[in-house]
Amino acid sequence: MGVLIVAGTVGLAVALVQKLGGGNAAPGGALALRQPEGTAIQGVSAGDGVVAVWVRRPDGERVLLVDPRRGTVTREIRLGE
């Protein structure tokens, strides 16, 4: 069940990235966040040409800022330690 929730959330993030990127979406329409095993997406938000993905990793929570045109993580912000 947890795997389905994570897969659905990732699908939503990819759809948002494609939608914001218009015709210039990531090659192949795919986005790999390349996070360590045990990472779970907690939330996704979009605005001003960037998609923010809140993730909970084994070593702490982070917000990943994704450029939807290139399909890459441009910045990683660590949340409270």
Q: Give the model's pLDDT for residue 21.
A: 58
Strand partners, 75: 65
Q: Give the model's pLDDT for residue 27.
A: 52
Residues contacting residue 54 through CB under 8 Å, at least 6 positions apart: 41, 42, 43, 44, 45, 61, 62, 63, 79
Confidence of residue 76 (pLDDT cuts 50, 70, 90): very high
| Mean pLDDT over each residue of the chain, to the nearest integer | 80
Confidence of residue 70 (pLDDT cuts 50, 70, 90): confident
Domain boundaries, the chain: 2-78
- The model's pTM is 0.62
